[in-house]
Amino acid sequence: MSVPGKVRLVEVGPRDGLQNEAGLVPLDIKVALVDRLSAAGFPAVEAGSFVSPRWVPQMADSPEVFARIARRAGVAYPALVPNMKGLDAALAADVREIAVFVSASEGFSRKNIACTRAESLDRLAPVVERAVAAGLAVRGYVSCIAGCPYDGAVPPSDVATMAKALVAMGCYEISLGDTIGVGTAGQIRDVIATVSRHVPRAAIAMHFHDTCGQGVANVLASLEEGIATFDSSVAGLGGCPYAPGASGNVATEDVLYLLHGMGIETGIDFAAVAETGGWISARLGRANAARAGRAYLAGTGRTDGR
């Protein structure tokens, strides 16, 4: 399989990153983060989520975020939606793309969205139908594709079953999430091979967390499987509040360094992302987890991987 010449990166830091911050992040910072990222050239910046504020308090001001960001032509700003109530709120905030999410494992489904996998599909079918009828683009996430914090090993066939169901509902793309960052390259290739028997590779995105330091290796393995869309998070922000111990997403700066170094086009300004990674890390008072970002900011990295 040939490696794609062009990759679409979905920046998920403002959602997957900030949802896990312990202290409340001020609205101004959230808005500035989204605006800085969209200015850096991302085709998509996941900007918030319309979930229960009892479950994820950090995302409770997503309506205000959507009201204040400078929406750029050609940039998608997806938001997470778990149910019809979330869709109502997203529509009221003039969200044009939603992301629905299910788990490949039963344990994480119960802990993260308080229902079984089968119930989650039943709950989401009318949500996706109504969103599509309203002209929204709908992305689907399948979590725990390489392991579950509650159930352990997850068979690739379970990942495929959930991905197939989301496509049948009307999702244009399925993002396969290694939520707890435990997968290794061979395993990831197996998951992609299994899912791609049911979902075209062009409709598969990969979403890696970097808990075990495998994020960039797993991106490379996925590229070699013909995958051309990846989720990543500036400064490696994040984690999931219902996946204890999981670290942030693979850092956008590290993925850009790999891609640009391999001559793969993204349309994204590495320097602008690295500056934003330094800025948000300082604002949050946390270490910058992007190694290529830190090297750039210290003046020791080549500017861009090229």
**Catalytically active residues, by annotation:** 240
Question: Which span (44-52, 62-70, 124-132, 191-199) binds ligand HMG, by CB under 6 A?
Answer: 44-52
Stated as kind and residue range, the H or E segment containing 90 is: helix 84-92
Residue 215 CB, nearest distance to ligand HMG (Å)? 12
Residue 207 CB, nearest distance to Mg ion (Å)? 6
Q: Is 150 in the site for ligand HMG (CB under 6 A)?
A: no
Question: Which span (29-37, 109-117, 149-157, 292-300) binds ligand HMG, by CB under 6 A?
Answer: 109-117
Residue 139 interacts with which of ligand HMG, Mg ion, none, CB < 5 to 8 Å by class:
none
Distance CA 41, CA 63 (A): 23
State the CB neighbour count (10 A cutoff) for residue 151.
Answer: 17
217 burial via Cβ count (<10 Å: 0-12, 13-18, 19+): middle
Question: Which span (108-116, 188-196, 215-223, 295-303) binds ligand HMG, by CB under 6 A?
Answer: 108-116
Nearer to ligand HMG by Cβ, of 179 and 281: the residue is 179
Token pair belonging to 186: 């061979």
For residue 268, which of 5, 11, 2 has the smallest C-alpha distance?
11
Interface with ligand HMG in residues 229-258 (CB under 6 A):
240, 242
Q: Is 66 in the site for ligand HMG (CB under 6 A)?
A: no
Residue 91 CB, nearest distance to ligand HMG (Å)? 12
Residue 60 CB, nearest distance to ligand HMG (Å)? 8
Contact 234, 288 (CB under 8 A): no
HSE-CB for 255 with a 13 A CA cutoff: 34
Contact 68, 93 (CB under 8 A): no
Residue 147 interacts with which of Mg ion, ligand HMG, none, CB < 5 to 8 Å by class:
none
Nearer to ligand HMG by Cβ, of 56 and 273: the residue is 56
Return the HEC string of 169-219.
HCCCEEEEEECCCCCCHHHHHHHHHHHCCCCCHHHEEEEEECCCCCHHHHH
Choose which of 66, 77, 101, 270 interacts with ligand HMG (CB under 6 A).
101
Give the interface with ligand HMG as residue ranges (CB under 6 A).
16, 19, 49-56, 80, 82-83, 85-86, 89, 101, 112-114, 141, 143, 177, 179, 207, 240, 242
